Amino acid sequence: MKRKNLVFIIAFMIGVAFALNAPLALAKDMTKKDLVKEAKSNITEIAPAEAKAQFDKGGAVFLDCRGPGEYKAGHIPGAMNIPRGLLEFKIAKKIPDKNTRILMYCKTGGRASLSCCSIDRMGYKNVVSIDGGWKAWEKAKYPVEK
């Protein structure tokens, strides 16, 4: 009886180990494009025109997740800058209310998509990415600040 229990426990532990490692095994060969595509399938993207309408209306936080140099070169007026690499560490202090409407952007949308996924997992409920990012905003000739 004891031997059967031991075999069962060992088999169960091996099964759990494989189950926990399976997502890691699948993810190890993903490219940055794969990661961004996966992120985009789990977030909401809005068109630059919709972002502009929310900009005009006010009340939303525009969050630029590009690096400081990119931000200084030009950004959406009033946008907050928290670089992608620091976002998870600084977001709670900068935006403590997890129900705040956040419009995330980067240069073209990749970093913003990954950022939206991260803070969504941290409990932020009202986060969207601007499709096409800064380049799309600029191309539409919407207001910029330097």
Domain 35-139 falls under CATH 3.40.50.150: no
- Report the predicted TM-score, pTM, of the whole model to 2 decimal places: 0.80
pLDDT(24) > 80:
no
pLDDT at 15: 55
pLDDT at 31: 94
pLDDT(116) > 70:
yes
Instruction: Please state, in angstroms and rounded to a whole number, the distance separating the CA atoms of residues 90 and 82.
Output: 7
Domain coordinates of the chain in residue numbers? 2-29, 35-139
Bridge partner list, 128: 103
